[in-house]
Amino acid sequence: MPLRPFPFSTLLAGFVAVLVGYASSAAIIWQAASVAGASPAQIAGWMTALGLAMGISTLVLTLRYRVPVLTAWSTPGAALLATSLEGATLNEAVGVFIFANALILLCGLTGLFARLMKIVPHSLAAAMLAGILLRFGLQTFTNLQSDFSLCVSMLLAWLLCKALAPRYAIIAALITGALVAWLSGDVVTSALHVSVVMPEMIAPRFTLTTLISVGVPFFLATMASQNAPGFATMQAAGYHVPASPLMVFTGGLALLGSVFGVYSVCIAAITAAICQSPDAHPDADKRWQAAAAAGVFYLLAGVFGGSISGLMAALPLSWIQTLAGLALLGTIGGSLHQALVNERERDAAAVTFLVTASGVTLLGIGSAFWGLLVGGICYAVLSGMRRAHL
C-alpha cells in the first residue's frame, strides 16, 4: 500500500498540540529549573531533552497502538517543583526526578494504575476532562478584554469557516490571527533566534528530606493531575489502550532521561484532546496521524530547544490562548454531553466537573484528582442509596 501524505488538518492539529503544550508550561519549567539553580544553558538543555523525550514517546506509542497517544511533561509537577525546590541543589532536584520516575515505572510494572483506571465511571472521566479544558475555553473570550481586535478577528474567521468548511475552521483562525498580530506589530521578531543546545548530564544526589518533602508530592501530583486525566482523555474520546504498558514505557524513558533534565514523561490530556477531536480528522481511526505529526514537531522543538523561550516571547499570548480554546471547543462540548447524558450519574458528574474546574490544589495535588475523588464518592453513595431502595 503506497504511503499517502497526512491531511493538512492532521498536521495542523499536531502542530497546535505541541504549540499549546509549550506555550502553556514552558515558562513554568524554566522557573522550576531556575529555582533549582540551573543556568540558562542548562535550562535550554533541559528543553532539548524534554522535546526529544516527548517526540520519541509520542511516535513510538502512537505507531505501536495506531491511536492518538500524546505524551507531555507534567505541568502540575513543574508548578510543584517551582514552589518546592527552593533551597535544594540542582543535584538534589535530579535525585527527585529519578525517585519519582522510578515510582511511576513501578506503578506500571505492578499494574496498580491500570486497576485503578478500570473502576473510574466513564461519565466521571468525561466530566473531569471537561473541567480541565474549561479554562482554555474561557480564555478564548476573556482575552477579548485585553486584545479585542485580534480575538474578534480569529472568532469571526473561525465562525465563518465553521459554517462553510468546518474542517478548516482552525486553519482560518490561525492564519487570520497571525496576520492581525503581524500587522499590529505584536510579533516581536527581535526575540526570534535559532540555537541548538546539547543536554548536560547532572549527577543526582539523594537526601531523605528532599525525597519525602518534594519527591513524594511530585510523584502524586504527576500521577493524579497528569497521567489520570491523560487516560481519562483517551477513554472519553473512545480510545482504549492498556494502561500498564504506557506507564512502563513513559516511566522508564523518563527515568533514563532524568539526569539530562527529563523530569517527567506523562500521558497528555489537554494537548491530546486536540489530536483526538473530529477537527484533527473526521475518521476516528485515522486521528493517530495527528499525534504522529505532533511527535515529529516535538522532535523538531527538541532539536531547537534553545530557541523555545525566544519563540514564546515572539508570539502574542492571546493568539495562542484563543487558538487553543477554539481547537478544544468541540472536545469540551462532547465531554459535557458524555458526562451529563446519563441521568443517574449526572449529579456525580456535575460535582466532578465543578471541583475540577475550580482549580483547587490541596496537599500539592491538583483539582483533577480531587474532582475525580469527590465525584467518585458522590457516585458511590448515590448508587448505593438507589440500590438500597430497589
Q: What is the pLDDT of residues 226-274, one digit of tens each?
A: 888 888 888 888 898 888 899 999 999 999 999 999 999 999 987 888 8
* Residue 224 included in any domain: yes
Q: Mean pLDDT over residues 128-135, rounded?
A: 81
Q: Mean pLDDT over residues 78-95, rounded?
A: 86
* Residue 340 included in any domain: no
C-alpha cell at 82: 517551582
Give the torsion sign (CA, 57, 244, 370, 349): positive
For the chain, the 3-state helix, strand and coil shares in percent, each to the nearest 5, are 75, 0, 25
pLDDT, position 295? 95
pLDDT, position 1? 34
Model confidence at 2, pLDDT cuts 50, 70, 90, reads very low
Residue 388: strand, helix, or coil: helix
pLDDT, position 136? 77
Task: Look at residue 132 and tell me whether its pLDDT is greater than 90.
Answer: no
308 vs 341, higher pLDDT: 341
Task: Look at residue 224 and tell me whether its pLDDT is greater than 70.
Answer: yes
Q: What percent of the chain has pLDDT over 90?
A: 29
Alpha helix (H) ranges present in 36-111? Answer: 40-65, 75-84, 90-110
* Residue 362 included in any domain: no
**Average of per-residue pLDDT values in the chain:** 85
> Cell 495535588, residue?
365
CA 60, CA 328: separation in Å to the nearest integer? 25
* Residue 364 included in any domain: no
* Residue 152 included in any domain: yes
Local structure of residue 6 (DSSP, 8 states): P
CA 381, CA 390: separation in Å to the nearest integer? 15
pLDDT tens digits, one per residue of 7-36: 888 998 898 888 877 766 776 787 788 888
What is the count of structural domains for the chain? 1
Task: Look at residue 277 and tell me whether its pLDDT is greater than 80.
Answer: yes
Q: Mean pLDDT over residues 103-128, rounded?
A: 81
pLDDT, position 192? 62
Burial 255-291 (b: 16+ CB within 10 A, else e): bebbbbbbbbbbbbbbbbbbbbbbbbbeebeebbbbb
Burial 366-386 (b: 16+ CB within 10 A, else e): bbbbbbbebbbebbeebeeee
Provide the β-strand partners of residue 71.
267
**What values do phi and psi take at 207, rounded to 5?**
-125, 140
Q: How far is CA 256 from CA 271, 334, 361, in A?
A: 24, 37, 30
* Residue 294 included in any domain: yes
CB atoms within 10 A of CB 302: 21
* Residue 365 included in any domain: no
Q: Give this prediction's pTM.
A: 0.72
Say what the alpha-carbon torsion angle 134, 53, 240, 288 is, to the nearest 10 degrees. Answer: 90
CA 369, CA 356: separation in Å to the nearest integer? 8
Residue type, 12: L
Q: Mean pLDDT over residues 106-135, rounded?
A: 80
* Residue 98 included in any domain: yes
> Cell 483517551, residue?
234
Model confidence at 58, pLDDT cuts 50, 70, 90, reads very high
CA 319, CA 23: separation in Å to the nearest integer? 11
322 vs 390, higher pLDDT: 322
pLDDT, position 308? 65
CA nearest neighbour of 84 among 100, 73, 105: 100
Domain extent, residue 162, equals 8-329
pLDDT, position 128? 81
Task: Look at residue 297 and tell me whether its pLDDT is greater than 90.
Answer: yes
